[in-house]
Amino acid sequence: MTPLDAAKTAALLFIVAILQVSVFNFVSIFGGTPDVLLVTLISVALLRGSIVAAVGGFFAGLVYDTATLETLGVTSLLLILAGYWTGRYGETTGRDKTHAPLLAVGVITILYTFLALIVRFLLGEGESAAHVLFHALPPELLLNLLVTVPVYAFTRWFVGARRVIRAQEVRLIE
């Protein structure tokens, strides 16, 4: 990864974290808000890999927690896990699959919500699990899936696809 690619990825995640805090958190459709930061991180993870996504998730979560004055590190932890495991999926199974962004966003949104409930419960900051799982999660999942295609297309255009160096076949002398 070149320094220019790293700077573009960092700038994208920083700007989206600020937009998430200042704009998208106030958009409520059917009781759910789109998590554009999570969708962007998933797009970066599929395009750039697990390590870049984990580091990007840490810093984007730190910006988010600092801007919202929430418990520092909770969002970073959740985004690190989301970015790393999505990156691993993209590096192995999901490479060059057209359905990979939608599948990853669907699964990670559900897992992210469950992990957020668990971590916030352990910290004593929990909301009603019934409200989060049955009233907030379905519209959030739908909104995240709706913004996946444009966000993934923009991220692919802005950051670019990872250049995969294919190994050449080695033939043993028989």
pLDDT of residue 44: 94
Whole-model pTM above 0.85?
yes
pLDDT score of 13? 95
User: Where does residue 47 fall: left (phi above 0), alpha (psi -120 to 50 degrees), or beta otherwise?
Assistant: alpha
Q: Does residue 70 lie in a domain region? A: yes
pLDDT of residue 174: 62
pLDDT in tens, 123-141: 888 777 787 788 788 999 9
* DSSP class per residue in 104-118: HHHHHHHHHHHHHHH
**Percentage, residues of the chain above pLDDT 90:** 57
Enclosing domain of residue 131: 3-157
In a domain, 11, yes or no: yes
Beta bridge partners, 32, equal: 29
Q: In 10 A of CB 92, how many CB atoms?
A: 9
Q: What is the pLDDT of residue 38?
A: 95
**Which residues of the chain have a pLDDT value below 70?**
94-95, 162-172, 174
Domain-located, residue 45: yes
- In the prediction, which pLDDT does 3 show? 86
Q: 146 in a domain, yes or no?
A: yes
What was the pLDDT predicted at 162?
65
Q: Which CATH number is 64's domain given?
A: 1.10.1760.20
Beta bridge partners of 29: 32
Q: Is residue 163 part of a domain?
A: no
165: in domain? no
Q: Is residue 136 part of a domain?
A: yes
Residue 107 within a domain: yes
User: Number of folded domains in the chain?
Assistant: 1
